Amino acid sequence: MAIYIRKYAIILLIGFLLCWGILGIRYSWLNDDLGKPLTSSKSSQLISHIEQFGTQSGQGNLLGIQPWMEPTDYRDGLTFRNKLAGYLKTARDSNLIIPNKTIVILPEYLGTWLVAMNEPTRVYTASTIQEAMTAMVIQHPIPFWQTYRAAPKASVIKRSTPYSP
């Protein structure tokens, strides 16, 4: 009886050490460049091209801004906010904003990549979207698996789309 208990204890210990090692490898892979600061380029906040139509009458205006966003700008809400604040400050310093009379227009999908907010460093330093998505899936395996299982099958999607042949 004691031999069986010892045998199971050894198997359990090996299993525990394997799980611990896998988690350690996963952590080090996701956070392998923690020492590198992720900074946004300040030069990308400069407005390089300004077009003005009409004359300034002081009655109000529309201001369209096409910001240059980098992956690190979506790291967290504060970084995103500071990047946009830099553009607005540059516009204000250029007298393009009339207080309480200017409507600022930004691109429709500007905040789409905020889905990557608070993800590991590897997501922001990835060279391709596929690599970034893989890092996100590895970071959140259980929610990914639940969503994957609940997603409709490809055959159901193909039949339900009105534009498919």
Q: Return the pLDDT at 164.
A: 53
| Other residues' Cβ atoms within 10 Å of the Cβ of residue 144 | 14
Residue of 103 and 25 predicted with greater confidence: 103
Q: Give pLDDT tens digits for 84-130.
A: 998 889 888 888 888 888 899 999 999 888 888 888 888 888 889 89
What average pLDDT does range 30-53 have in this prediction? Answer: 61
Separation between Cα atoms, residue 146 and residue 149, nearest integer Å: 5
Distance between start and end Cα atoms, the chain: 67
- Is the pLDDT at 80 greater than 80? The verdict is yes
Separation between Cα atoms, residue 76 and residue 116, nearest integer Å: 8
What average pLDDT does range 57-83 have in this prediction? Answer: 86
